[in-house]
């Protein structure tokens, strides 16, 4: 009905416009011609004759006007059809486009404004059709990518969760359900701490990811426990990238690794402990032998005894290093922190290493930036750091080399530097130098466990400090670590 009324409205208006345009001039012409006729007769003609002539003139004009009106009406109808037809076609096509049919075209052959309008309309529909096809293609591609991503997520052996800033779970993949032993709808909407065994989630957004380092989950069907390593990433808001609305958690099952690490730690701890006792006994017996408790020794026997004592002491240090490394890694090492004098610790460490320094004819200096430098530290463990770093410098500095030990203050920290002019370290080795059993450490070390620098890092970090190295191949190294000054 709406389309019909629109069609009638257009044609009626056009017809009225044409009729008005054709009849109005005829009406004016009729009135004007009557007036002119009366004026042209003159006053000599009688009134009766004038009336008769006027009636004839009016009849003639009326006939002419009637014929003109009929002709005008016919032309108005024809012209209204000509003009309204393409407009109605455009309206019909527009309605089809509104319903999603972009294949519509308006066939108008005229070269006037209506024709130009139809051409513009056809170009528009063609562009819309092309854009519609592109959108459909993109939508299909998005659907395919979404299906592929969903397939990857669902088939992943890692657990994948999304949570909001209140730790409420928004989505979970099948692996999470498998670990927990419950359906997905029993997980969605729950708090993260209700599903995983983790520390209480912090509300501070900056600290939130840091609190998610590891977790455990217990299967509600079998009571089997899984240890999980968590990787947390924030999902930024589309409207404001500075705002974090959600987090995605990737959880990896490290149960087997945890079990292997526990077996390895128990094995190493047992092995090193069982080695430590006989080595200590061997060193003590050799010391007694050296003192003549079992009889006087010849010069050659004394030399061999000294060599055996030194070798056993090195072996004992290696065993202790392995034991202490695993203690630090397991968090089972208790530091006795108290106010100590850093200068006296460094001086004592240099004295202990003096025989080794003399053996390689090294020249060593110690230059503190201040005579009194107090730190909050475990004296024996801190001394171990100094001994490890100076021993490292002695080992990799050729005979008659120079080793400088000095300190400097940086804000509320003290930095200890052990600098040598030895063989140096290539840039490719530096990044992994303080890692346990790293390839770089194995390439550099001549003998030992390969844990000296790693253990030094553990001890420094246990004192809330930081350790690093600056070096250049064949130009020496500069090992540095910093800790806070005791206030």
Do 218 and 234 reside in the same domain of the chain?
yes
pLDDT of residue 340: 93
Confidence category of residue 6, pLDDT binned at 50, 70, 90: very low
Mean pLDDT, residues 225-240: 79
Do 223 and 262 reside in the same domain of the chain?
no
Domain membership flag for residue 118: no
Instruction: Out of 29-38, 224-233, 244-253, 414-423, pick the least confident.
Output: 29-38
Cα–Cα dist 138/473, whole Å: 55
Number of compact structural domains in the chain: 4
Antiparallel, parallel or unpaired: β 169-172 and 159-164: antiparallel
Do 312 and 421 reside in the same domain of the chain?
no
Do 342 and 479 reside in the same domain of the chain?
yes
Q: Give me the residue label for tokens 């969760």.
A: 161
What would the pLDDT profile of 167-193 be if each residue is shown by its tens digit? 889 989 999 999 999 998 899 998 888
pLDDT of residue 267: 76
What would the pLDDT profile of 297-328 be if each residue is shown by its tens digit? 888 888 888 888 888 877 877 777 777 777 77
- CATH number for the domain harbouring residue 169: 3.30.450.20
Find out whether 244 and 205 touch, Cβ atoms under 8 Å: yes
Do 274 and 325 reside in the same domain of the chain?
yes
pLDDT of residue 344: 94
Percentage, residues of the chain above pLDDT 90: 16
Do 352 and 476 reside in the same domain of the chain?
yes
- Choosing from 238, 253, 268, the residue where a domain stops is 253
Do 397 and 441 reside in the same domain of the chain?
yes
- CATH number for the domain harbouring residue 390: 3.30.565.10
Domain membership flag for residue 149: no
Domain membership flag for residue 373: yes
By residue range, what is the domain housing residue 195?
A: 156-253
Domain membership flag for residue 121: no
Do 273 and 394 reside in the same domain of the chain?
no
Do 306 and 411 reside in the same domain of the chain?
no
Cα–Cα dist 142/139, whole Å: 5
Q: What is the layout of strands, in order, in the sheet containing 159-164?
A: 169-172, 159-164, 244-253, 225-236, 214-218
What would the pLDDT profile of 89-134 be if each residue is shown by its tens digit? 777 778 877 777 777 777 766 666 777 777 787 888 888 888 888 8
Do 421 and 478 reside in the same domain of the chain?
yes
Q: What count of other Cβ atoms lies within 10 Å of the Cβ of residue 121?
A: 20
pLDDT of residue 107: 74
Q: Give me the residue label for tokens 């416009």.
A: 17
Domain membership flag for residue 464: yes
Per-residue pLDDT at 445 exceeds 50 = no
Domain membership flag for residue 123: no
Domain membership flag for residue 110: no
Do 24 and 77 reside in the same domain of the chain?
yes
The structure tokens listed for 182 are 């419950």
DSSP output for 139-161: HHHHHHHHHHHHHHHHH-SSEEE
Per-residue pLDDT at 209 exceeds 60 = no
What would the pLDDT profile of 385-442 be if each residue is shown by its tens digit? 999 899 889 988 999 999 999 999 998 999 999 999 988 888 777 877 887 755 444 4
Do 469 and 346 reside in the same domain of the chain?
yes
């Amino acid at each position: 009905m709406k389309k019909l009324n629109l069609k009638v409205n257009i044609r009626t208006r056009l017809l009225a416009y044409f009729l008005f345009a054709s009849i109005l001039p005829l009406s004016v012409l009729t009135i004007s011609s009557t007036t002119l006729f009366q004026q042209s007769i003159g006053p000599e003609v009688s009134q009766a004759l004038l009336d008769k002539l006027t009636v004839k003139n009016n009849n003639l004009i009326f006939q002419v006007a009637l014929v003109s009106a009929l002709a005008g009406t016919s032309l108005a109808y024809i012209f209204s059809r000509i003009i309204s037809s393409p407009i109605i076609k455009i309206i019909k096509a527009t309605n089809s486009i509104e319903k999603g049919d972009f294949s519509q075209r308006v066939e108008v052959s005229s070269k006037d404004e209506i024709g130009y309008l139809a051409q513009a309309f056809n170009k528009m529909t063609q562009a819309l059709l092309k854009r519609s096809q592109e959108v459909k293609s993109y939508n299909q591609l998005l659907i395919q990518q979404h299906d592929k991503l969903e397939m990857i997520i669902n088939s992943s052996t890692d657990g994948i969760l999304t949570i909001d800033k209140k730790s409420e779970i928004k989505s979970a993949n099948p692996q999470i359900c498998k670990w927990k032993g419950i359906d997905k709808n029993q997980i969605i909407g729950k708090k993260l701490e209700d599903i995983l065994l983790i520390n209480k989630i912090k509300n501070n957004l900056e600290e939130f990811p840091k609190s998610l380092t590891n977790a455990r989950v217990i299967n509600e069907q079998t009571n089997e426990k899984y240890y999980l390593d968590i990787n947390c990433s924030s999902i930024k808001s589309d409207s404001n990238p500075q705002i974090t609305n959600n987090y995605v958690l990737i959880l990896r099952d490290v149960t087997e690794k945890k079990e292997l690490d526990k077996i390895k730690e128990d094995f190493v701890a047992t092995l090193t402990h069982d080695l430590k006792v006989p080595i200590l006994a061997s060193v003590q017996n050799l010391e007694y032998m050296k003192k003549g408790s079992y009889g006087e020794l010849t010069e050659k026997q004394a030399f061999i005894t000294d060599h055996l004592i030194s070798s056993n002491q090195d072996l004992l240090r290696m065993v202790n290093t392995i034991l202490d490394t695993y203690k630090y890694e397991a968090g089972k090492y208790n530091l006795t922190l108290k106010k100590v004098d850093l200068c006296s610790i460094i001086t004592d460490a240099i004295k202990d290493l003096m025989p080794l320094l003399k053996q390689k004819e090294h020249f060593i200096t110690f230059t503190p930036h201040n005579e009194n430098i107090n730190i909050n530290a475990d004296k024996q463990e801190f001394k171990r750091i100094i001994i490890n770093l100076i021993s490292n410098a002695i080992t990799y500095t050729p005979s008659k080399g120079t080793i400088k030990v000095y300190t400097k203050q940086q804000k509320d920290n003290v930095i200890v530097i052990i600098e040598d002019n030895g063989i140096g370290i290539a840039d490719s080795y530096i990044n992994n130098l303080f890692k346990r059993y790293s390839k770089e450490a194995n390439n550099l070390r001549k003998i030992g466990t390969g844990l000296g620098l790693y253990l030094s890092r553990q001890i420094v970090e246990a004192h809330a400090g930081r350790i690093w190295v600056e070096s250049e191949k064949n130009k020496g190294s500069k090992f540095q670590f910093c800790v806070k000054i005791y206030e």
